[in-house]
Amino acid sequence: MEIIHDEEDTRFYMTLDGGEAELTYTITDNGHMDFDHTYVPEQHRGQGIADRLVKEGLEHARACKCMIVPSCPVVEAYVKRHKEYDDIVNWD
């Protein structure tokens, strides 16, 4: 399953049987990526799809030298479990 970054719609998503899974974000006034919402259709939950979307978003932010704001609880939990992203997380 391919993850697509739609910069115009500010989201990362993948098409699944029965819908789309997505990680949405906004760009803050100081240029940070604020990851604010994650959604996975109910029939696809528990398969690691949200983690894949979050990882893709974090890797994109790192490649662009952007800081991130983990507003979404799923993103917050992910970065707390994966300390390798501490350098790009803005907790303010």
In the β-sheet with 19-27, what is the strand arrangement from edge to edge? 4-6, 11-16, 19-27, 33-39, 68-70
Domain ranges of the chain: 4-85
- Using DSSP's 3-state secondary structure scheme, residue 49 falls into helix
pLDDT value, residue 18: 81
Beta-bridge partners for 20: 15
Task: Could you please state the CATH topology (level 3) that the domain comprising 4-85 is classified under.
Answer: Aminopeptidase (3.40.630)
Structural contact between residues 7 and 61, judged by C-beta atoms closer than 8 angstroms: no
- pLDDT at position 92, please? 76
Residues of the chain with confidence (pLDDT) below 50: none
Predicted local distance difference test score (pLDDT) of residue 32? 97
* Per-residue confidence (pLDDT) for residue 76, from 0 to 100: 98
